[in-house]
């Protein structure tokens, strides 16, 4: 079973490869997505290192002059997707792209490639990529944490990569949607509308895109005035981890100034995460910086503190308790939203379903802390989901049913790099 799934995962990556970059899935997502490509590179690295580097290099072809690496790169216009390049109206880049970013997992991935690929060519690649990664991290710390709180904000729910999380609802309800005009969605023609965001959510998404477009995606104006500006535990923890990984690379390359800059960001964020700690819930939650409201939802990102290298018991013990409470409630960990919360929906986008890539990140953090039992629960649940429902985009945490797009690239990549039992067999 496992060898057959290994082969299937490799075939999916090859089929979704459009020549140096990989689309998440055919139909629903026909372009290059930022964090998808980072995970995909890990998948390629299990059988084709050259191709793994290429995925990251092509992602950085879309980098803006200010350092931002966009969430979508539109290499060619595809009318089956909405909102396409004309809706974003970006002018900065050489290639048409969207106007905001996505979770910065790339540096963490590049560090793994760097450690795996000891060839001269690998060293050259890292030297070229390092300043680009640093510029992107600097952009995040400058424009998504303009007041230096040590937490990273998103200007659009899509920037979190967890698009439709219930935690964005309140903050997004302040966004004026009166001026968005008519539009036709395409996502609901590819998959069941019951599993996709509702119209009101989409209206708000487009109103924020309009704000960005009207302001030429100027990150300073976004930081000062964007109607949606919410600190996200997901992007905060992912960037903190990525800063540490970039620091390790800076030290290996003898980049001393960069290392100092990175240490500064790490120290700031280590303190800053306290702003996201909800004392009553005993969990890391969102913080709406525009309206000064601490969220009360526990999401899969609340479990990324170990991944970020946070070790204080006052945070980690309750995080473990929430993990166990939720793990006892569902058949498959980790639902994207707390099943005890009234807004939990087991099959609707980011309001309940399980994503393999998030399981991988959470498990990496637990494993780093020596918490093998919880890390293994996440891995074996991911194996069971894929065995039951193939390489779906996401899965129901109760029934294990797959949903969203099929033959999904990052689910395949995560299988190859982490979940597959072949790896455990090899290690034994
Ligand atoms: C959805 C997800 C996002 C992902 C993209 C492509 O928009 O929410 O995280 O990057 O699909 O897979």
Residue 393 CA, closest ligand 1 atom number: 12
Instruction: Give me the residue label for tokens 């393999």.
Output: 356
Catalytic site includes residue 393: yes
pTM attached to this predicted model: 0.98
Mention every residue, 6+ apart, whose C-beta is less than 8 A from residue 125: 53, 57, 113, 117
Task: Give distance in angstroms: CA of 257 to centre of ligand 1.
Answer: 35
Q: What is the spatial distance between Cα 234 and Cα 302, in angstroms, rounded to a whole number? A: 7
* pLDDT tens column, 81-108: 999 999 999 987 689 999 999 999 999 9
CA of 269: how far to CAs of 1, 14, 49, in Å? 43, 38, 33
* pLDDT tens column, 16-55: 999 999 999 999 999 999 999 999 999 999 999 999 999 9
Task: Give distance in angstroms: CA of 31 to centre of ligand 1.
Answer: 11
Mention every residue, 6+ apart, whose C-beta is less than 8 A from residue 342: none
Mention every residue, 6+ apart, whose C-beta is less than 8 A from residue 131: none
Catalytic site includes residue 296: no
Residue 29 CA, closest ligand 1 atom number: 6
Q: Which one of the listed residues 6, 36, 393, 396 is annotated catalytic?
A: 393
What element of type H or E holds 174?
A: none
Residue 35 CA, closest ligand 1 atom number: 10
Residues flanking ligand 1, CB < 6 Å: 24, 29, 33, 35-36, 161, 163
For 403, list phi and psi in degrees, rounded to 5.
-150, 175
* pLDDT tens column, 272-330: 999 999 999 999 999 999 999 999 999 999 999 999 999 999 999 999 999 999 999 99
């Amino acid at each position: 079973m496992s060898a057959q799934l290994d082969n299937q995962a490799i075939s999916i990556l090859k089929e979704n490869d459009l020549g140096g970059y990989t689309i998440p899935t055919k139909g629903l997502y026909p372009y290059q997505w930022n964090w998808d490509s980072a995970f995909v590179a890990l998948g390629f690295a299990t059988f084709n290192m050259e191709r793994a580097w290429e995925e990251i290099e092509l992602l950085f072809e879309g980098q803006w002059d200010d350092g931002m690496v966009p969430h979508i790169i539109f290499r060619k216009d595809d009318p089956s997707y909405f909102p396409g390049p004309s809706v974003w109206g970006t002018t900065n880049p050489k290639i048409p792209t969207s106007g905001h970013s996505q979770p910065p997992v790339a540096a963490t991935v590049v560090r793994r490639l760097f450690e795996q690929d000891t060839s001269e060519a690998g060293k050259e690649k890292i030297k070229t990529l390092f300043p680009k990664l640093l510029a992107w991290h600097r952009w995040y710390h400058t424009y998504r944490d303009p007041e230096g709180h040590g937490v990273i904000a998103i200007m659009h729910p899509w920037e979190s990569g967890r698009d439709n999380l219930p935690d964005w609802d309140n903050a997004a309800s302040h966004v004026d949607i009166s001026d968005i005009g008519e539009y036709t969605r395409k996502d609901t023609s590819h998959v069941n509308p019951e599993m996709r965001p509702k119209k009101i959510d989409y209206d708000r998404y487009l109103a924020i895109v309009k704000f960005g477009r009207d302001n030429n995606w100027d990150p300073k104006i976004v930081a000062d005035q964007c109607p949606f500006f919410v600190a996200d535990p997901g992007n905060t923890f992912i960037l903190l981890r990525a800063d540490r990984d970039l620091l390790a690379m800076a030290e290996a390359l003898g980049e001393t100034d960069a290392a100092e800059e990175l240490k500064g960001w790490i120290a700031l964020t280590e303190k800053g995460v306290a702003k996201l700690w909800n004392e009553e819930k005993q969990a890391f939650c969102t913080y709406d910086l525009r309206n000064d409201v601490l969220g009360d939802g526990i999401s899969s990102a609340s479990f990324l503190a170990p991944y970020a290298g946070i070790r204080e018991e006052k945070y980690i013990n309750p995080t473990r308790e929430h993990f166990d409470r939720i793990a006892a409630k569902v058949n498959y960990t980790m639902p994207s939203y707390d099943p005890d919360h009234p807004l939990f929906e087991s099959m609707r986008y980011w309001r309940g379903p399980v994503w393999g890539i998030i399981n991988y990140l959470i498990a990496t953090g637990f494993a780093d802390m020596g918490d093998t039992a919880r890390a293994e629960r996440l891995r074996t649940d991911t194996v069971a989901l894929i065995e039951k429902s193939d390489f779906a985009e996401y899965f129901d945490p109760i029934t294990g049913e797959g949903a969203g797009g099929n033959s999904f690239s990052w689910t395949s990549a995560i299988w190859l790099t982490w979940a597959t039992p072949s790896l455990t067999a090899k290690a034994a």
